[in-house]
Structure 1
Amino acid sequence: MGNQEIVQKLWNLCNVLRDDGITYHQYVTELTYILFLKMMKEKDNEADIPEQYRWDSLTNKHGVELHKHYRQLLLDLGEVDSEIVKQIYTNATTNIDEPKNLEKIIRSIDDLDWYSAREEGLGDLYEGLLEKNASETKSGAGQYFTPRPLIDVIVRLIDPQPGERLNDPAAGTFGFMIAGDTHIKSKTDDHFDLSQKEAEFQRYEAFTGAELVKDTHRLALMNALLHNMRGEIKLGDTLSEMGSTMKNFDVVMTNPPFGTKKGGERPTRDDLTFETTNKQLNFLQHIYRSLKANGEARAAVVLPDNVLFESGTGAQIRADLMDKCNLHTILRLPTGIFYAQGVKTNVLFFNRGKKDKDNTNDVWVYDMRTNMPSFGKRTPLTEKHFDDFVKAYQAEDRSKVDDERWNHFTRDDIRKKDDSLDIGLIADESLTMYENLPDPIESAEDAVEKLQKATSLLNDVIDELKAVEAGKDE
């Protein structure tokens, strides 16, 4: 049994919990509590876990006794001395009310082929579970999930090196940093080409991040741990004062959350020059200021279209970015690759300059959006879709690339457009009235699913009304 089969079996266990009213995201968090104990046993690494709460303590109990033990375990593991265990279980509570459901999940997990999982990598198994959660539109977790093919292409082009400090200020489940670690391991024979000191730097210091949402932070910690990465992942808001200490990085790769600050308030930092409630513009300011000013530090940031054209403060921030950095490439991403319909996004690639003025002279834009397939469940995005962009990006002489999607703009061209970066889209051959319509089959499937839920709710109401009527007759 391979990891994909194990992921599917773990995912199917969610059906056991339907009667407990547990959401997909709650299920993945619950699985994290249980899988952590199982995976520590599989890695023969249970020393930091009190003996009475190790994996075997769950398999040796049944029913109500098991449920009571599990709830106490969650409380007590949040108070242990081990920092990593403590972070995984801080404020942990269970959403499983039915003892038989908890026992079913623990027994099913114990029966899986863990030898194969160890061979393929426990970290890859856990990432597969997170990706499955994100790909299920019903879970809601994938609304702005960064597709793995996009992460892998960004990492390949940014090309992080051993000894560099990498950061993701909106870490999510730590996907960018884990892909960066995999990239460096592939270059260094799993760190065997490095000295002991260099290998320890890679494991403990090279990869860092910050995540605001507690449950997502927990998933990031688990993901990093299973990939043998121990760099700091802060719990908190990068746009708060905490973020002012996150700086001097060689590489930043990130997909900041979309939207505005709650309540429209400004970020609580005094080191950001331009005040705005737009989260992405504030993250953009944070990112280019967090890079080392050495001409080599670089970033790739996923941002929605509004960051490219918002006037006023937005234009000032873009001008400041192009002063402090060489904004050399913009990738206009296709719609449909994120699970929120119609979200239009881009990747900005830039290097921090040695000086603070006039670092951008030329911006190259690749249009992967216009006249592209409608991506979704039935037409998934793959790395192959990026081949032409990668070829253009890596060309020794970009001006000789023969591709209509690849266009050049000078800094003066952009100034004439009031520093708008909403540029580089080619002529749309499709009928405008049909642009960005969702896949009809996916829409029909969603409609059927909603009708089935509505029917189920109505049947519940009918059953309750019948019960009431029966009570009156008695």
Structure 2
Amino acid sequence: MTQSTTRDIVQKLWNLCNVLKDDGVTYHQYVTELTYLLFLKMAEETGTEDQLPEGYRWVDLAGRTGLDQLNFYKALLLHLGTDTSGLIQEIFANAATIIRKPTTLHILVTAMANLDWYSARQEGLGDLYEGLLEKNANEKKSGAGQYFTPRPLIESIVALMKPTLEDVIQDPAAGTGGFLIAANHDIRENSDPDSWTEAEQRKYRRGTFYGIELVQDTHRLALMNLLLHGLDYDPEGAGIRLGDTLGSEGEKLPEATLILSNPPFGTKKGGGLPTRTDFTFPTSNKQFAFLQHIYRSLKPGGRAAVVLPDNVLFESNTGRDIRQDLMNKCRLHTILRLPTGIFYAQGVKTNVLFFTRGETDKGNTTEVWVYDLRANMPQFGKRTQLTRKHFEEFELAFGPDPCGGAEAMAARVDTGLEGRFRRFTRAEITDRRDSLDVSWLKDESENGGELPDPTILASSVITELEAALAEMQSILLELGATEEDLEAVGVLA
């Protein structure tokens, strides 16, 4: 059995979207609709239908036709979202079908019933669902790229961070759950679950994986994804919650020994400040707010790997204050400059910051190593796919220590001006006004001769303008202007 069967099923499911195109359905809406139907069908296939109330299962839906089937389906969604509890209610909360024609529903149900579910179970239902999420993220009209971190990047980060059964793992911007799922896979691959004690099993299921997702449709996709990868839903704690990490829900997350995340880019909706009361540096910039949450949520000795856009590395004023605070409280040991084009929806230049929380809150960063995987790299996209192989040299240079300890740092090799990996002392960074936006290689590739998509260029310009506007606001406020003054002249974002 090969993964080709899973790919075939994913393509067949994806092609069914054509049935809904005449109804003006978006790809993202389609994946959400598929999630409802897949949950019912997979409960039947995996013998777990007892979690669903009698009379509201796949067989009850598939046994109907015409308008009766569509009306029953609407009633089923309402019932599962209101008259159940736990995972079922979370997945079907506020669920409503986008299907308007009985024939459309009949085509979807019939096609889904006729798929090769035996092979899908053999290869892993989780892989099938991940394939659908990836299709959705790569479809530029879906807008779902913001919730989907490329899996080769996730796999590389997780391999370097070496999650263990002892870890408390957090993703405060969980999206569809990719980081938590990859961490779970790594833990199970590198240990023997059959040898775990009862206490270890309990800790694994009830106290290991934590996350928050803000958008309800994305949250239900994440819950489905975790379910199909064998991760339990704990109504009392572990799992991915629906909520705002930059609000009170974020303060309730337990301290972590490992945080893996790709926070959303841009400013907080409406331009307001987060409602969190525990941030030292209030900011409407979501990346900086999430960064504060992450390094403050780490236990001493805890480690993190976070995907962040370039502006986090160079913005002044509050941005500089937060970078200084990060480098004081944590050992920021590695920055990976990522290639362009791997985040289609955002279209901005990104990095991975690797850091470890210190035992004290002062002077933890003494050197920062920067790996440039951006210069002289192809323009990634549909024509050139990002793969795990693209990260092999970086992983080798990074070394075996996920915490970036002194011994591991001493073993690293600075490749000089012609190479991709360089060391910068804390003093050198101070001389750069604490900017971490370091580059030295001349990029001869010009994105491999390909012009970036216009939406990518526009998105990048908007991000830089927002950063410049935020910096201007800070300067004016420092000079004595009030928010009312800025609003009056149209400078307040």
**TM > 0.5 between the two?**
yes
Q: Which residue of 2 aligns with 1:234?
A: 241
Equivalent residue for 1:409, pick from 424, 446, 451: 424
Q: In the alignment, is residue 8 of structure 1 matched against residue 11 of structure 2?
A: yes
d(CA) in 1 for partners of 2:95, 2:82: 11
Q: Which residue of 1 aligns with 2:337?
A: 332
Equivalent residue for 2:413, pick from 400, 417, 425: 400
Change beyond 3 A, Cα 1:431–1:179: closer
Greater Cα offset, 378-387 or 423-432: 423-432
Give the number of aligned pairs.
Answer: 438
**Shift in Å, 1:73:** 0.2
d(CA) in 1 for partners of 2:179, 2:412: 30
Q: Which residue of 1 aligns with 2:433?
A: 418
**Shift in Å, 1:188:** 1.8
Q: Which residue of 2 aligns with 1:320?
A: 325
CA contact (8 A) 1:247 1:292 kept: no
Greater Cα offset, 371-380 or 228-237: 228-237
Equivalent residue for 2:283, pick from 265, 273, 276: 276
Change beyond 3 A, Cα 1:402–1:17: same
Q: Which residue of 1 aligns with 2:219?
A: 217
CA contact (8 A) 1:160 1:251 kept: yes
Q: In the alignment, is residue 291 of structure 1 matched against residue 298 of structure 2?
A: yes
Q: Which amino acid aligns with 1:221?
A: L
d(CA) in 2 for partners of 1:262, 1:439: 26
Equivalent residue for 1:150, pick from 139, 149, 153: 153
**Runs of at least 5 residues in structure 1 that lack an aligned partner in the other structure:** 444-474
- 1:186-201 maps to which residues of 2 (within 5 A)? 186-189=189-192, 191-201=193-203
**Shift in Å, 1:196:** 2.6
Q: Which residue of 2 aligns with 1:137?
A: 140
**Residue aligned with 2:205, SS:** helix
**Runs of at least 5 residues in structure 2 that lack an aligned partner in the other structure:** 233-237, 401-407, 458-493
Change beyond 3 A, Cα 1:167–1:436: farther
Q: Which amino acid aligns with 2:357?
A: R
CA contact (8 A) 1:332 1:366 kept: yes
**Shift in Å, 1:201:** 2.0
Greater Cα offset, 77-86 or 165-174: 77-86
Q: Which residue of 1 aligns with 2:85?
A: 82
**Residue aligned with 1:115, SS:** helix
d(CA) in 2 for partners of 1:343, 1:79: 40
d(CA) in 2 for partners of 1:327, 1:212: 28
Q: In the alignment, is residue 345 of structure 1 matched against residue 336 of structure 2?
A: no
- 1:81-120 maps to which residues of 2 (within 5 A)? 81-120=84-123
**Shift in Å, 1:144:** 6.0
Q: Which residue of 2 aligns with 1:252?
A: 259
**Shift in Å, 1:399:** 4.0
Q: Which amino acid aligns with 1:127?
A: E
Q: Which residue of 2 aligns with 1:467?
A: none
Equivalent residue for 1:171, pick from 170, 174, 178: 174
Change beyond 3 A, Cα 1:373–1:75: same
Q: Which residue of 2 aligns with 1:203?
A: 205
**Residue aligned with 1:334, SS:** coil
**Shift in Å, 1:307:** 0.4
Q: Deviations over 1:103-142 (max 9, x none)?
A: 1000100111111111111111111111111111222212
Q: Which residue of 1 aligns with 2:268?
A: 261
**Residue aligned with 1:73, SS:** helix
Q: Which residue of 2 aligns with 1:449?
A: none
CA contact (8 A) 1:144 1:339 kept: no
Q: In the alignment, is residue 384 of structure 1 matched against residue 389 of structure 2?
A: yes
Q: In the alignment, is residue 36 of structure 1 matched against residue 39 of structure 2?
A: yes
Aligned residues: percent identity? 58
Equivalent residue for 1:438, pick from 431, 452, 460: 452
Q: In the alignment, is residue 49 of structure 1 matched against residue 52 of structure 2?
A: yes
**Residue aligned with 2:308, SS:** strand
Greater Cα offset, 370-379 or 249-258: 370-379
**Shift in Å, 1:145:** 2.8
Greater Cα offset, 364-373 or 243-252: 243-252
CA contact (8 A) 2:334 2:370 kept: yes
Q: Which amino acid aligns with 2:289?
A: N
**Shift in Å, 1:373:** 1.1
Q: In the alignment, is residue 356 of structure 1 matched against residue 348 of structure 2?
A: no
**Shift in Å, 1:143:** 4.4
CA contact (8 A) 1:170 1:210 kept: yes
**Residue aligned with 1:180, SS:** helix
**Shift in Å, 1:48:** 1.9
d(CA) in 1 for partners of 2:423, 2:111: 56
CA contact (8 A) 1:78 1:91 kept: yes
What is the TM-score with the length of structure 2 in the denominator?
0.86
**Shift in Å, 1:298:** 0.4
Q: Which amino acid aligns with 1:168?
A: D
**Shift in Å, 1:351:** 0.3
**Shift in Å, 1:59:** 1.1
d(CA) in 1 for partners of 2:446, 2:215: 41
**Shift in Å, 1:208:** 1.1
**Shift in Å, 1:81:** 3.5
**Shift in Å, 1:346:** 0.2
d(CA) in 2 for partners of 1:431, 1:241: 44
Q: In the alignment, is residue 162 of structure 1 matched against residue 165 of structure 2?
A: yes
**Residue aligned with 1:85, SS:** helix
